[in-house]
């Protein structure tokens, strides 16, 4: 039964992953259609075709490797057809290029909205009570609203958790107390505090090693306005976490072994789905889906060759100089970028598989 449930969880996760990719490609497809562009191929996946169907204007393909998709608009060659991508106004091409990422961001907000709706109430960042033997209550009070931690603006309880976890990674393991710089709203005024938290060096029956959260927050009644606002805050939280992760990768805080590819993503999502089924609460699983689709949208907007962000930069240069860059030169840049991304994907996927074989 466990094996069957694991297989089912993985299949559901893969389906979700494909839907995220499909939404991205539909963004390109629908905007291209709206501008009357000729669409040569719409494909999900990469590599050899598993099967395809050709209509009057488009080939619909399903490919072997579930790591992406594409909408072929003929942007890599010149033609006399007025409906080809390169013969359309540059502003229309810009919209088509960014539409996929925008669709992912919209989907991310929608999933955050569904996640908030699935919870019984909305968690605020206002303290409602302290646990027994609380340490943070030495300086904080019931009714305090957390607005900043270690200089980071706090929008959600996920922000609070991130700051505490981040602090735990940069503290002397021999310490028993961790101090965090916080700004709180108290009686309508901003107050700066240095808040102590108990630092656990060993696992207990109820806590993992790290900083112990010793307070609870007030719930907020759900209505259309509070739900929308909470979904917006969660969207901003997840988007910021992605940018922080990108920064940490570029600065060397995280290495290539800390990255996850398609195998790692599917494994994590399947594990989260299994846990959600046990708890009969799917908000955490939905937030992981939101994080992945937002990540896809943000990553695709980066000016990396072969990604939509780099294609947008080439179009921006064309709009400024009023002359397109030769397609063979642009194609070479994207080919090099694509090859580098595929190499990175292979390395990360190999690491994901090795982690499954040898979790330690």
Q: Which residues are catalytic?
A: 25
CA–CA gap between residue 166 and residue 178 (Å, rounded):
12
CA–CA gap between residue 336 and residue 232 (Å, rounded):
37
Task: Name beta bridge partners: 69.
Answer: 44
Angle (CA) 246-250-251 rounded to 5° is 115
Count CB atoms within 10 A of the CB of residue 65: 13
Q: Which two tokens stand for residue 124?
A: 């605020």
CA–CA gap between residue 289 and residue 300 (Å, rounded):
17
Count CB atoms within 10 A of the CB of residue 256: 10
Q: Which two tokens stand for residue 38?
A: 């000729």
Give the helix/strand (H/E) hosting 257.
none
Task: Name beta bridge partners: 220.
Answer: 122
Helix ranges, the chain (H)? 2-34, 90-118, 157-169, 224-250, 262-279, 283-300, 308-321, 327-357
3-state secondary structure at position 39: coil
Backbone angle region of 45, left / alpha / beta, with phi > 0 → left and psi within -120 to 50 → alpha: left
Q: Which two tokens stand for residue 186?
A: 């108290």
CA–CA gap between residue 172 and residue 168 (Å, rounded):
9
Q: Are 112 and 195 within 8 A, CB to CB? A: no
């Amino acid at each position: 039964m466990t094996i069957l449930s694991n297989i089912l969880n993985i299949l559901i996760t893969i389906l979700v992953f494909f839907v995220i990719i499909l939404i991205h490609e539909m963004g390109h497809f629908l905007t291209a259609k709206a501008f009357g562009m000729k669409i040569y191929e719409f494909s999900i996946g990469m590599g050899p075709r598993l099967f395809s169907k050709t209509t009057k204007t488009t080939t619909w393909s399903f490919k072997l490797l579930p790591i992406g998709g594409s909408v072929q608009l003929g942007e890599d060659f010149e033609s006399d057809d007025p409906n080809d991508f390169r013969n359309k106004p540059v502003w229309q091409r810009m919209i088509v290029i960014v539409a996929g990422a925008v669709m992912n961001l919209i989907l991310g907000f929608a999933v955050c909205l569904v996640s908030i709706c699935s919870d019984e109430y909305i968690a605020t960042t206002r303290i409602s009570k302290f646990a027994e033997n609380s340490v943070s209550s030495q300086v904080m009070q019931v009714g305090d609203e957390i607005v900043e931690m270690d200089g980071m603006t706090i929008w959600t309880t996920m922000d609070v958790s991130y700051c505490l976890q981040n602090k735990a990674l940069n503290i002397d393991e021999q310490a028993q107390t961790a101090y965090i710089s916080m700004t709180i709203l108290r009686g309508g005024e901003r107050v700066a505090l240095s808040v102590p938290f108990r630092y656990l060096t060993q696992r207990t029956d109820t806590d993992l090693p790290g900083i112990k959260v010793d307070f609870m927050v007030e719930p907020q009644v759900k209505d259309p306005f509070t739900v929308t606002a909470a979904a917006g805050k969660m969207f901003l939280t997840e988007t910021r976490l992605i940018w922080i992760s990108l920064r940490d990768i570029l600065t060397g805080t995280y290495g290539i072994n800390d990255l996850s590819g398609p195998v790692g993503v599917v494994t994590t999502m399947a594990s989260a789905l299994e846990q959600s089924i046990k708890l009969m609460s799917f908000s955490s699983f939905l937030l992981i889906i939101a994080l992945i689709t937002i990540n896809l949208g943000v990553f695709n907007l980066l000016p990396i060759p072969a990604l939509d962000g780099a294609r947008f930069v080439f179009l921006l240069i064309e709009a400024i100089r009023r002359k397109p860059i030769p397609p063979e030169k642009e194609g070479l840049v994207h080919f090099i970028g694509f090859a580098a991304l595929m190499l990175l994907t292979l390395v990360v996927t190999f690491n994901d598989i090795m982690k499954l074989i040898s979790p330690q």
